[in-house]
Structure formats: structure tokens, C-alpha cells
Structure 1
Amino acid sequence: MATKKQLLIVAHAPSPNTLKLREAIENGARHPDIDAVDVVVKAPLDAGPEDVLACDAIILGTTENLGYMSGALKDFFDRSYYPCLEKTQGLPFAFYIRAGHDGTGTRRAIESITTGLRWKLIQEPLICRGDYSDEFEDQCGELGLYVAASLDAGLI
């Protein structure tokens, strides 16, 4: 039997709506047709370099805070960057932003850090802009499904 791959979801969810988005990502990733992927979900303050080193792909999630990623996700990167720098090059990743405005600064910050890590962006970032919409949950579910299915099929 083949070894299961691991999908790590590190997402900041400080409100009921952002928790719904993180749960939608997880539910999509745990689709019943996906057999060979274990899904691990952690808040940024609970995740660290050991989690990144153990995974085969990662989905990051954050709120837009003052035009930047959440402090919790930045803390995760601060603790994980150097321990992962030489060991996770090419790591497939995707991310989503719950943006009250446009998400531009948050996107730029995440892309800057992940470029330094030499991770491989596998899908255009999902930016959930403006007032909250239930559609965001559908989009997050699709993102989780896409990444997990890609791992399951050996595409990433």
C-alpha cells in the first residue's frame, strides 16, 4: 500500500466567518473520493517548522490586517522560515485571503516570503474581497478539493 501524502492547512480564523472558510478548505480537502491524503489543520500559532517539514503540500489562510497578513501567520513564517529554507524548496502551496479591502498588500507579503522559501504556487491565490458572502465558502471548498485531489493523483 502506498504511503499517504500529507496536506497541511495553516489558517488564521479569528472570527466565525473566517472559521467557516477554514472549515470549507478542510471539508474540500477531506472529500470522500480522496484516499491517499491525510489532512492536518492547524492555527498559525500552533504550527511550526516540523509541520512544514512533514507535509507534501500546504494551504495558507489569513485575514487582511491593515493591508498585511495576520500577525499569527507572520509569526508562523518567522518561526518556520530558516528551519525550512533549505529543506522545503519546491513545496507545492496555495493560499487564500479574507480581505476587507483588496488583499494586495497581503498577497504581496505572502508571495515575497514564499518566493524566498522557493515554494511552488500551484494555483492563483483566492482573495475573498469585500463584504462576507457564502460564495467564499464554496470557493474555499473548491481550493481544498483541488489541492488534495492534485496530491492524491500525484500531480503535485
Structure 2
Amino acid sequence: AGGNLSAVLAQEGAAGRGPVPALQVLYYPSLYGAQVFPSHELYAEGYFLSRASMQWYGDQYIAREEDWTARRFVPGLAPDLSGLPPAVIITAECDPMRDEGAAYAKALRAAGVPVRYHCYRGALHGFLNFYALMPNGKAALRLGGRALRKAFTA
């Protein structure tokens, strides 16, 4: 839920309803609610995060069925993404969430938001948690850390 919450906070801040973050760092974010993407189906089973577990997590996160389309749960469907802080979006190739991050990066760019998008080849959802064993995890953490350092010192 971290990437989702970060995107929502950035949107709330840009709309004047809270502080505006210096940078959005979104690791394999869930941004589009019940909308189905090709990676949801392609990596639905056998790649650490399953489609069934995605549904279960979503059901724990929302209170009512209509929340699946609520702006505060589905930041990818916001009608206007202009004016948001720059973003670093990191996804894993073999992850049901991959296409959501890629779609949000594309939508932010179209709205004029500076975006750095990186998809780690061969990585699974949650690869950051295994950074000690997976070089991609360590690289992704460093990418986000360097971007934050730059944003806070600019």
C-alpha cells in the first residue's frame, strides 16, 4: 500500500489539502484499483504475489465496494495529474503490479510531471525485501535513496 499512499498524498498536497512532497518514490505501486492490466494475468500465479492475494489485500484496504473507484484509493484514475511533484517509479518485471507502475509513469509524463521509471528485469514483487540476496533489490533501494538525497538537497 505504500506506493498507493504516496501517490494519494502527492495528489492531496498538489490540490492544497496537505503538504506537497518533494518527490514521489513509488516501488511496485498499486494505483488503479480493480482495473485489470496484462501483467495481472501474465503473473497471476507462481511469482510470489498472486492475483488472489492482490484481491485479498485490496479487500482489507477498502471499506465499501464503491471504494474500488474512489479517488483516494485509485490515484491512477485522477483526471488531472499536472502539478504533482517529480516521481521515481520502480517496478519488477515478473510482478502482477508491473503494468500499473508503467501506466502511471506514462500518465504523469503526459501531464508534464518529471518521471524516472525503471523496471528491474527478472525481479519479483517484494524484491526490495530480499536486497541482501538480490542485487536488483539493493540497486532499487539505492536508486530511490539517491533520488531522495537529490530532492532534499536541491
TM-score, length of structure 2 as denominator length: 0.49
Q: Which protein is bigger by CA-based radius of gyration? A: 2
Bigger relative CO (Cα 8 Å, ≥ 6 apart): 1
Structure with greater strand percent: 1
Give the TM-score of the pair, scaled to structure 1.
0.49
